[in-house]
Amino acid sequence: TMENEKGEPRNFIVTRFDDETLTVDGNNPLCGREVTFMLEVLTIRDATWDEIELGGAVGADPDLNEILDRAK
């Protein structure tokens, strides 16, 4: 485990090594696989005027790990 620039743990998988070289893969283990999420809508709200003008959520920067942790 290493840390990213925010100090958060980051896992890597060693894919190859020899006497001089270590090769790691930092991709998510689900990368390249088909994933199906079962979701339940908990709340619905009207969009704000800013969201309507911009065509989407304002300041949205979702973190998948944070979302998955909240679902546990």
Type of residue at 8: E
pLDDT in tens, 3-58: 888 888 888 889 999 999 999 998 888 888 888 989 999 999 898 888 888 777 77
Q: What is the pLDDT of residue 18?
A: 93
Q: What is the distance, to the nearest Å, from the Cα of residue 48 to the centroid of all Cα atoms in its chain?
A: 26
Spell out the residues 6+ positions from residue 13 whose beta carbon is closer than 8 angstroms to its own: 24, 25, 29
17-to-43, 46, 55 alpha-carbon distances in Å: 49, 54, 48
Per-domain residue ranges of the chain: 2-70
Strand partners, 22: 17
Q: Please state the pTM of the whole predicted model.
A: 0.39
